[in-house]
Chains A and B, each alone.
Chain A
Amino acid sequence: GEDVEQSLFLSVREGDSSVINCTYTDSSSTYLYWYKQEPGAGLQLLTYIFSNMDMKQDQRLTVLLNKKDKHLSLRIADTQTGDSAIYFCAESAGGFKTIFGAGTRLFVKA
């Protein structure tokens, strides 16, 4: 079945760039998402990209999609302590079902 994989932990220093990587298996994915989960809260959509795009930039966030390799990445420029959270990669083929990864816990050291 469909699967989404991402590394579980990432640690960066404040001010550095963070890059969170994700791979997925569903070749019919139409939408690819990044959600952020802060402690004690539900997931919040951070950004998304359509499968016919290679890149999307939104302020400090850059999403890169390599559809051939089924690889998605999220780059956070000038990472701040407030960016510490769990980041979930997810994919959807356009129907109701969205497949989520296990989440990458980002630690930002001051």
Chain B
Amino acid sequence: GAGVSQSPSNKVTEKGKDVELRCDPISGHTALYWYRQSLGQGLEFLIYFQGNSAPDKSGLPSDRFSAERTGGSVSTLTIQRTQQEDSAVYLCASSPDPSYEQYFGPGTRLTVT
């Protein structure tokens, strides 16, 4: 079956603009995660959804970052007023259950100029 997909695969934006990143999880997976991967850094946890609710938003770096998930499926991560330090690869993962293996998408590479 289809894996986790993310769009766009690459995004270049000017500092100060807003961006939306999209994640389509594997059908039926109730858990969805967003991570940020910066060069030489580990995966930084951003947010976790169980169904449509986000019990843990503690990883969001600032109030410029928000995420939502609708219908227990697609999720969007929005970054407002982007800064150069937001440049990174944003990875989405889904899982049939929070304690199970996570299946990762290919990521969105965001470059803020």
Residues on A close to B: CB < 8 A?
A: 4, 8, 31, 33, 35, 40-45, 48, 88, 92, 94-103
Contacts and interface: CB of A to CB of B under 8 A. Distances in A.
A64 B33 CA distance: 28
B99 A42 contact: no
B101 interface: yes
A88 B50 CA distance: 24
Given A48-B101, A96-B56, A97-B56, A40 B41 contact: no
B101 A45 contact: yes
Nearest to B4: A42
A81 B56 CA distance: 40
Interface residues of B, number: 23
- The 6 tightest CB contacts between A and B, nearest first, are A42-B104, A96-B98, A100-B43, A102-B42, A43-B104, A100-B42
Contact of A88 (B4, B33, B43, B105): B43
Interface in B54-111: 55-56, 91, 93, 98-99, 101-102, 104-107
Contacts of A43: 43, 91, 93, 102, 104
B104 A95 contact: no
Contact of B105 (A8, A42, A48): A42
A88 B40 CA distance: 12
A48 B101 CA distance: 9
Contact of B48 (A4, A8, A97, A102): A97
B101 A42 contact: no
A8 B56 contact: no
B104 A102 contact: no
A42 B107 contact: yes
A96 B50 CA distance: 9
Nearest to A5: B42
A40 B104 contact: no
B31 interface: yes
